Amino acid sequence: MSETPPDHLSVNPDSPYYDAAALERGVGVRFKGADKTNVDEYCVSEGWVRLALPSRDRRGNNMTIKLQGEVEPYFRDLA
C-alpha cells in the first residue's frame, strides 16, 4: 500500500470508493486546517467532505452535509 491515502474515500461499504485496507490502517482528515472525526466521505481533487450529522434518514442511514474546502487526508499510523 502507498504512503498517501486515496484521493477519494468513503466509509460506506456500498460505495465504489470504499477501501477496507486504508480504513483498517486509519485515515485522519484535516478540513480547512482542523481535524475532523465525523467524516463519512472525502475527495481531495474536488475539495469536499461529507460530514455525518447526529440524525438518520427514514432508511436508517446517517444524514450528511457536504462542505467545500481544503482537504488533507493522512494515515494515523505508520505501516
Enter the C-alpha cell of residue 27.
485515515
pLDDT, tens digit (0-9, with 9 covering 90-100), for 17-74: 999 999 999 999 999 999 999 999 999 999 999 999 999 999 998 899 999 999 999 9
Query: Measured in whole angstroms, how far is the alpha carbon of residue 30 from the centre of its chain?
Result: 10
Pair 9, 27: CB distance under 8 Å:
yes
H-run or E-run covering 25: helix 20-25
Enter the C-alpha cell of residue 8.
477519494
State pTM to two decimals.
Answer: 0.88
Residue the block writes with cell 487526508: 73
